[in-house]
Amino acid sequence: MPILVAIDAGTKPIPYAADAIRLALGDRATVEECQALAGTLVDIVPVRNAALVCGPSDADVHLHLLIEGWAYRAQGLLDGARQITDVLVPGDICDWVPPASNEEIRASGPARVAVLRRMVEGHDLQALSARRERAIIGDIRRLRTQATSLGRRDARGRVAYGLADLHHRLERVGLARGGAFACPLTQEQLGDLLGLTSVHINRVVQGLRRDGVLIIGKRQVTILDRDRLHAIAGWRTDEADRTVTDRRLPIRPQQGGPMPSPSATTNSRGPS
C-alpha cells in the first residue's frame, strides 16, 4: 500500500497517516477508506494520561479518531463524583455527538488521536454524515446495555460483562489475542464504569481468579475460560456485534472541489 502523507497547519507532512488509521480501524474499513479518511486529517496528536482528548469548543469543526491507547467518556456530578459511561478503544470516534458541558473525554494512559475535518467547504463529509446515524445508534445500544448491567446484574455479572465486552471490541481491531489484552483502566476507573467501589472490584476479580475464569495483573487481562466468563456475564455475541459493526467508518469525501488547507492544528495535550 502506498504511504499517504497528510499535511498539518504548519505544512509539515504527517507520514504513515493511512497506515495508522488502518491499524486503528482493524477490519472495520478498507484500505481505500483509510486513505480517504487520511485525506481529511488535520493532525495526529499525542495525549497524555488523564488529559482531555477533546471538548465542546472544537466539536463543530473537528472529529477525533482514537488511533492508539484508550479513553473514557464520563459525566461529572456536583459533589465531585463521576460516572464513566463508555470506554473508547482504537478505531472509535470520540465525538460523533459533541460532549455536553458536564461531560469529559479523557485518556486512560498515553494515547494518540487523529484530528479530522468534520466539514469540507461548508458541507458535511457525505460519507461521514451517511453513517453517523448508524454509529450513534450503536452507541445508544451500548448505553442501554450499560444501563441494564447497572440495574440488573450483580457485581460479578457486571465485571464479567464489562471485560467480555472489552475483549470482544479489542479482538475486532487485533488488540486481543489468545484471550489476553492490555487494559490501562485502573480499579477506580473500572468502579466508576460499573458502579462499584475499588474494594468491591478487587474482591470480584480475586473471586474470578480463584474460579479459574480470568487473571488481571500488570495492566493486562487474561481470560482463562471464555465460556464460563460469558455464562457469568449473560453474554450474547449477536447483540455485541450490533454495537460494534455499526461503528464502521465509510469515509469517501464529497466530490466537487479540492480539500481546503486546515486552518488550525492542535499540539500535544496535557492534563486540564
Tens-digit pLDDT profile for residues 158-216: 999 999 999 999 998 889 998 999 999 999 999 999 999 999 999 999 999 999 999 99
Q: Is 49 exposed, middle or buried (0-12, 13-18, 19+ CB in 10 A)?
A: middle
Average pLDDT over residues 136-153: 91
Task: Look at the pTM and tell me if it is higher than 0.75.
Answer: yes
Q: What is the pLDDT of residue 265?
A: 39
Ranges in the chain annotated CATH 2.60.120.10: 6-125
Instruction: Specify which of 64-73, 125-134, 260-269 reaches the highest per-range mean pLDDT.
Output: 64-73
Catalogue the E-assigned strands of 121-264.
123-124, 180-182, 214-217, 220-223
Query: Band of the pLDDT at 241, cuts 50, 70, 90?
Result: low
Residue 148 has pLDDT above 80, yes or no: yes
All three cell numbers of 100: 455536553
> What is the predicted pLDDT for the residue at 6?
36
Q: Could you tell me where in the chain the CATH 1.10.10.10 domains are found?
A: 152-245
| Residue 24 vs residue 92, higher pLDDT | 92
C-alpha cell at 86: 463508555
pLDDT greater than 70 at residue 227: yes
Share of the chain above pLDDT 90, in %: 47
What band does 268 get if pLDDT is binned at 50, 70 and 90? low
Please state which architecture CATH assigns to domain 6-125. Answer: Sandwich (2.60)
For the stretch 73-79, contacts whose Cβ atoms lie closer than 8 Å and that sit 24 or more positions apart, written own/partner, are 73/99, 73/103, 73/104, 73/105, 74/103, 74/104, 74/105, 74/106, 74/192, 75/100, 75/102, 75/103, 76/102, 76/103, 76/104
Dihedrals phi, psi of 122, to nearest 5 degrees: 80, 5
Over range 87-114, report the average pLDDT: 88
CA distance 49 to 109: 4
CATH class of 152-245: mainly alpha
